[in-house]
Amino acid sequence: MKVQLNGEPHELDDGATVADVVVLLGRGPEARGVAVAVEAEVVPRTAWGDHELHDGDRIEVLTAIQGG
């Protein structure tokens, strides 16, 4: 399926979940400071493994960065 991942076109396997995308981006499912939105709706971490993605979805994965 084709999705927009952080503003870029990306191919995912059918049945991919939010958790799969987080792992694909090199972050573990337990990664701290990571938030995910699908179609501009935040997906709670507890739902990442169950939230199946669909063709055309817009997915944003954000990582908090500490600095000073």
Residue 68 included in any domain: no
Q: Looking at residue 65, what is its pLDDT?
A: 82
Q: Looking at residue 27, what is its pLDDT?
A: 87
Closest CA to 38 of 47, 27, 29: 47
For the domain that residue 42 is a member of, what is the CATH number?
Answer: 3.10.20.30
The per-residue pLDDT for range 10-65, each reduced to its tens digit, is 999 999 999 999 999 998 777 889 999 999 999 999 999 999 999 999 999 998 88
Residue 9 included in any domain: yes
The number of distinct structural domains making up the chain is 1
Residue 66 has pLDDT above 90, yes or no: no
Going through the chain in order, the beta strands assigned E by DSSP cover 2-5, 8-11, 34-38, 41-42, 58-63
Domain with 26 in it:
2-63
Closest CA to 18 of 47, 58, 41: 47
